[in-house]
């Protein structure tokens, strides 16, 4: 691999410079935002693939921004991005590439990952999109000849979170006669609560597992097949029209009775949390159709091209990553909140939790040495409006400093007479919360306001500590022009590249997940132990 020798982050000159700047202290956001500064405003706003990022409420100065850009250079982020794009085995602990960007295709004269991978991707994309269209137009029929009206996705982790998030986000584009459902938890009620409303004759199961041995998924799949059998679909031929397998191990699914014609594949270089672009996205393709799925891919590819081509200071994913490192490592903020102000992005924070925390939740550098700096933050969140009436109290007056990514949508397309008024209220709250968290309100201002409301000076000063807000909470505001397949694709790719950049900055491997594998291995060992005969006594 053509990468420079690894140096721990704390040994890089730019990291040490950032430590010195943090020790000197950064002015409060009231000061940074209180005086018009066109140069700062321009340096902290970016646009790419139709998305706009406003980072003016980040607690950074020009000196901090310069040092962050120097850190990206010191860390070899660009060289690592190029190695990934070429398909080099940057997933070093597993000895394979992390080439999910190839799934998004694009109009390349010569694809960086080579013609063989490009041809394989196109072939499988055409196959599963054709299947999705057959399901949508009623051509795919169950054993009794009924059209499929319900598709149940069975998978966990990346085989669930990405497709589930995207189907919900693009609900405005879904087919009116085909409903897509998701089951990931092997808890029996999770499956029953879906199946009790469905008819076997018109139900199709999509079973998703890279190895086709995932315990949770196989447990659910066995129960789904038993449900079919209990309703008269007993043998393999009867069940075949009601079962689809999506896997990187087609020989294993075939041995379990899944028809090869109903099996769609992907490759070992597709990580689960990066797999929605592959056949794992089949439920999304069923929901929104082939044309819109290709638009989703195109949005991701547009962000890829920006990431690879834009200079560092105007590179939206890189700058998002650098600001996150500043907050995590130099301002002492171990958590990061995702606050979406669009109801259809209900599952987006959960999706990002896996993308970020499974990638960068590491304590070992790429050279095998223990990390001496903080790595991936705790990512959490949900819908911002709901959070305002729950955990935002802690953001404003608690003892934690929690950076926020606010995500908003410019245009409203809901077919309700008062939809624009709803939208105005939602976006007004987004902007108000971002300002309130940044600026806060000091004790003197609070006391003066209380006296203006008619309280005595004594009462006003007594209440002021309880109604004072420290502010100085850093945030980004990310705007989508509309929530479309293209913009959602760009949004997902933006965060993928951000996570990659942060892994490069921290010097960790983003594409393995040995902590997840440990839990699976121990569960399997316990299962085997419980099945073993008890020892005899003499």
Per-residue burial over 457-496, b if 16 or more Cβ lie within 10 Å, else e, is eeebbeebeeebbebbbbbbbbbbeebbbbbbbbbbbbbb
Question: Catalytic residue among 143, 175, 396, 520, which?
Answer: 520
Instruction: Give the count of beta carbons closer than 10 Å to the beta carbon of residue 205.
Output: 23
Q: Tokens 């079962």 correspond to what residue?
A: 243
Q: How far apart are CA 485 and CA 265, in angstroms?
A: 23
Q: Which residues contact 290 (CB under 8 A, 6 or more apart)?
A: 129, 130, 132, 133
Please check whether residue 73 is in contact with residue 14, taking contact to mean a CB–CB distance below 8 angstroms.
yes
Question: Catalytic residue among 110, 389, 453, 466, which?
Answer: 389
Torsion of CA 514, 517, 522, 527, to 10 degrees: -170
* 327's tokens: 């907050």
Strands (E), 427-491: 475-480
Q: Which residues contact 159 (CB under 8 A, 6 or more apart)?
A: 153, 184, 208, 209, 210, 214, 217, 246, 272, 275, 280
* 268's tokens: 């070992």
Instruction: Give the count of beta carbons closer than 10 Å to the beta carbon of residue 78.
Output: 16
The question of whether 358 is a catalytic residue gets the answer yes
Question: Catalytic residue among 358, 486, 497, 509, which?
Answer: 358
Q: How far apart are CA 289 and CA 294, in angstroms?
A: 9
Q: How far apart are CA 78 and CA 528, in angstroms?
A: 46
* Residues carrying an active site annotation: 358, 389, 520
């Amino acid at each position: 691999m053509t990468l420079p020798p690894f140096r721990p982050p704390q040994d890089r000159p730019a990291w040490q410079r950032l430590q010195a700047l943090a020790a000197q202290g950064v002015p409060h956001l009231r000061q940074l935002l209180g005086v018009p500064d066109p140069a700062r405003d321009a340096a902290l706003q970016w646009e790419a693939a139709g998305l706009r990022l406003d980072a003016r409420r980040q607690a950074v100065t020009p000196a901090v921004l310069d040092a962050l850009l120097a850190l990206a250079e010191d860390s070899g982020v660009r060289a690592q991005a190029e190695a990934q794009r070429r398909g080099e085995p940057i997933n070093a602990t597993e000895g394979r590439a992390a080439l999910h960007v190839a799934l998004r295709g694009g109009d390349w004269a010569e694809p960086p990952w080579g013609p063989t991978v490009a041809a394989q991707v196109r072939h499988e994309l055409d196959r599963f999109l054709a299947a999705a269209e057959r399901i949508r137009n009623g051509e795919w029929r169950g054993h009794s000849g009924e059209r499929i009206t319900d598709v149940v996705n069975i998978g966990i982790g990346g085989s669930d979170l990405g497709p589930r998030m995207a189907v919900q986000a693009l609900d405005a584009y879904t087919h009116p006669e085909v409903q897509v459902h998701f089951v990931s938890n092997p808890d029996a009620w999770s499956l029953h609560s879906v199946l009790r409303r469905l008819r076997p004759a018109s139900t199709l199961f999509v079973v998703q597992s890279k190895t086709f041995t995932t315990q949770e998924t196989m447990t659910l799949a066995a129960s789904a097949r038993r449900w079919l059998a209990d309703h008269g679909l007993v043998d393999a031929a009867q069940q075949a029209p009601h079962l689809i397998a999506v896997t990187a191990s087609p020989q294993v699914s075939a041995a379990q009775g899944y028809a090869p014609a109903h099996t769609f594949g992907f490759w070992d270089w597709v990580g689960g949390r990066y797999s929605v672009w592959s056949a794992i996205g089949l439920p999304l393709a069923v929901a929104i159709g082939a044309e819109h799925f290709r638009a989703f891919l195109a949005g991701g590819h547009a962000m890829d091209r920006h990431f690879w081509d834009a200079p560092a200071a105007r590179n939206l994913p890189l700058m998002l990553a650098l600001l996150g490192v500043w907050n995590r490592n130099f301002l002492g903020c171990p958590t990061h909140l995702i606050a979406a102000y669009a109801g259809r992005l209900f599952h987006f924070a959960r999706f990002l939790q896996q993308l970020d925390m499974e990638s960068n939740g590491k304590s070992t550098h790429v050279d095998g040495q223990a990390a001496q700096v903080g790595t991936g933050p705790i990512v959490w969140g949900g819908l911002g409006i709901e959070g305002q009436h729950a955990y935002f109290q802690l953001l404003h007056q608690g003892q934690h400093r929690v950076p926020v990514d606010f995500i908003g949508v410019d245009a409203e397309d809901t077919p309700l007479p008062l939809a624009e008024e709803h939208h105005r209220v939602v976006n007004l709250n987004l902007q108000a919360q971002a300002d309130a968290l940044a600026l806060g309100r000091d004790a003197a201002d609070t006391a003066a306001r209380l006296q203006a409301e008619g309280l005595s000076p004594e009462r006003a000063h007594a209440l002021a500590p309880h109604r004072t807000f420290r502010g100085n909470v850093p945030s980004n505001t990310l705007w989508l022009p509309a929530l479309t397949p293209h913009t959602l694709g760009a949004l997902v790719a933006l965060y993928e590249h951000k996570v990659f950049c942060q892994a490069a900055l921290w010097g960790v491997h983003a594409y393995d997940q040995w902590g997840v594998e440990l839990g699976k291995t121990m569960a399997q060992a316990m299962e085997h132990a419980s099945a073993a005969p008890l020892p005899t006594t003499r």
